[in-house]
């Protein structure tokens, strides 16, 4: 079965420090991976995706993610955190089931950036 795990419910980081939000996956075949961000009482916003190519993917708002095939990980990173980055972050993988595509989401990690 294909799955995504986000091992940390919450990550706290001081403003200006680098941040990492962890994601590991389990898929058969090539992994297609995504990161989304959710602000309170809002829908999810797309940040970045990995399809193929460079292991370091750059996305919106200064975020990037590092794909590591041997560790089956796709961690979200940012060199310098902002208070406004505080939100709920979801990792997702695209899954092919019975000829149709669907997306499997992790349980989310709440990022808190402290001023």
Partner 1 sequence: DGGITQSPKYLFRKEGQNVTLSCEQNLNHDAMYWYRQDPGQGLRLIYYSQIVNDFQKGDIAEGYSVSREKKESFPLTVTSAQKNPTAFYLCASSRARTSETYEQYFGPGTRLTVT
- Interface contacts to partner 1, rule CB under 8 A: 9, 32, 34, 36, 41-46, 49, 51, 90, 94, 98, 100-108
CB of 13 to partner 1, least distance (A): 21
Closer of 70 and 101 to partner 1 (Cβ): 101
Contact 111, 85 (CB under 8 A): yes
Decide: residue 63, CB within 10 A, 0-12 exposed, 13-18 middle, 19+ buried.
buried
Coil, strand or helix: which one is 43? coil
- 3-class DSSP state of 100: strand
Nearer to partner 1, 15 or 24 (CB): 24
Task: Give the nearer residue to partner 1 in terms of CB position, either 61 or 103.
Answer: 103
Minimum CB separation of residue 72 from partner 1 in Å reads 18
Nearer to partner 1, 19 or 33 (CB): 33
What's the min distance (Å) between Cβ of 25 and partner 1? 14
Residues 32, 89: Cα–Cα separation, whole Å: 17
Per DSSP, 94 falls in state: E
Give me the least distance between CB of 11 and partner 1, in Å please: 15
Residue whose pair of structure tokens reads 């940390």 in the numeric block = 8
């Amino acid at each position: 079965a294909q799955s995504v795990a986000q091992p940390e419910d919450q990550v706290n980081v001081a403003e200006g420090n680098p941040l990492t939000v962890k994601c590991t996956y389990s898929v058969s075949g090539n992994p297609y991976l995504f990161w989304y961000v959710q602000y309170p009482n809002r829908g999810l916003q797309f940040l970045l995706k990995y399809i193929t190519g460079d292991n370091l993917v750059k996305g919106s708002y200064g975020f990037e993610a590092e794909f590591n095939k041997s560790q089956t990980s796709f961690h979200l990173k940012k060199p310098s955190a902002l208070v406004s980055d505080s939100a709920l972050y979801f990792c997702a993988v695209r899954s092919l089931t019975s000829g149709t595509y669907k997306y499997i989401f992790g349980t989310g990690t709440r990022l808190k950036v402290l001023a």
